[in-house]
């Protein structure tokens, strides 16, 4: 009887989350985007006005052979891959919303610094398409914020079903989350690859 009541509670909870799915996703997206935008603006103001020295991009896909270009692109995607790993595994804890907000804010600060340095011509090793690269980074971040919103949503149901020892629901939700995450993260990686190429062209 207890097991039946527990299952009914879980089903009711999941049904409630499903009924508010888009509202929760939109709320999370707007919150994470706000954090991203604030950090972008602050970072841009700092790097635009302060004397932060001269920087050079780490990726150089235009020089050397094709293998050197591929290697440089892969190396430049390591930070993005680390962000993805942190975001994915955070969904299995109650800290996911906080971690997601921090990652989105970090991306805002990064884009603000890039835009500030480009506007002052203090970023070396870039080509004439650096503005395109900045917009591609923004596009990748928009997908990343959507992914972070989805992770925060799944975090709630994953931690809930795990705490109630609902293994069947937990495994199904975990598989569903992993599939959605792989699709969205693939889009982020593709756009990030294009961004790496354009910043050096």
Predicted local confidence at residue 12, as pLDDT: 87
Max Cα-Cα span within the chain: 70
User: Phi/psi of residue 56, each to 5°?
Assistant: -130, 140
Residue whose token pair is 């909870």:
13
Please answer whether residues 157 and 14 qualify as being in contact, where contact means their C-beta atoms are separated by less than 8 angstroms. Answer: yes
Residues 6+ positions from 33 with CB-CB distance below 8 Å: 104, 145
The structure's pTM equals 0.86
pLDDT tens per residue across all 201 residues of the chain? 445 545 578 888 888 888 898 999 999 999 999 999 999 999 999 988 877 666 666 555 555 555 665 666 677 788 889 999 999 999 999 999 999 999 999 999 998 988 888 887 776 656 667 778 888 989 999 999 999 999 999 999 999 999 988 888 999 999 999 999 999 999 999 998 888 777 766
Predicted local confidence at residue 153, as pLDDT: 95
Please answer whether residues 123 and 59 qualify as being in contact, where contact means their C-beta atoms are separated by less than 8 angstroms. Answer: no
Predicted local confidence at residue 54, as pLDDT: 67
Predicted local confidence at residue 119, as pLDDT: 80
Predicted local confidence at residue 58, as pLDDT: 55
Predicted local confidence at residue 5, as pLDDT: 47
Predicted local confidence at residue 2, as pLDDT: 47
Cα Rg of the chain (Å, integer): 20
Judge residue 111's burial from the number of C-beta atoms within 10 Å of its C-beta, 0-12 exposed, 13-18 middle, 19 or more buried: buried
Predicted local confidence at residue 128, as pLDDT: 67
Predicted local confidence at residue 179, as pLDDT: 96
């Amino acid at each position: 009887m207890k097991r039946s009541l527990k299952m009914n509670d879980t089903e009711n909870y999941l049904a409630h989350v499903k009924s508010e799915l888009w509202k929760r996703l939109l709320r999370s997206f707007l919150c994470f985007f706000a954090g991203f935008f604030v950090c972008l603006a602050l970072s841009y103001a700092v790097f635009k006005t302060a004397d932060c020295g001269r920087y050079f991009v780490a990726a150089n896909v235009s020089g050397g052979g094709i293998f050197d270009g591929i290697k440089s692109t892969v190396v430049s995607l390591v930070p993005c891959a680390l962000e993805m790993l942190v975001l994915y595994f955070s969904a299995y804890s109650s800290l996911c919303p906080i971690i997601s907000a921090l990652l989105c804010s970090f991306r805002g600060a990064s884009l603000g610094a890039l835009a500030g340095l480009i506007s002052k011509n203090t970023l070396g090793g870039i080509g004439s398409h650096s503005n395109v690269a900045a917009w591609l980074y923004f596009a990748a971040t928009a997908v990343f914020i959507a992914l972070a919103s989805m992770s925060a949503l799944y975090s709630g149901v994953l931690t809930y079903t795990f705490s109630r020892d609902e293994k069947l629901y937990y495994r199904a939700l975990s598989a569903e989350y992993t599939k959605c995450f792989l699709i969205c993260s693939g889009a982020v990686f593709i756009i990030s690859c294009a961004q790496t190429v354009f910043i050096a062209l």
